[in-house]
Amino acid sequence: MASVTMGTREGAIVGLVWGLTDWIRAFVWPTSPLAVYVLVNPLVSVVPRFLVGLVAGWLFFWLARKVLRPGI
């Protein structure tokens, strides 16, 4: 939603903050016993959430350009 309403860069920043928050929470206050082993890895907890914000923004603006201006 952040990518659609604010733009791709802001959506990526929100995703990065979301990932960093989950990564830190895996150390401080894990939600499950498996979270300690899985979410401690930044490639699992930070990168996918960052990419969600980035790719969602790109995809939305690409689709909006194709639908609103189909000849371009």
pLDDT tens per residue across span 28-43: 888 888 877 888 888 8
Crossing angle of helices 8-28/47-68, nearest 10°? 160
Note the pLDDT of residue 32.
81
Note the pLDDT of residue 10.
93
Note the pLDDT of residue 72.
59
**Residue ranges, the chain, pLDDT below 70:** 71-72
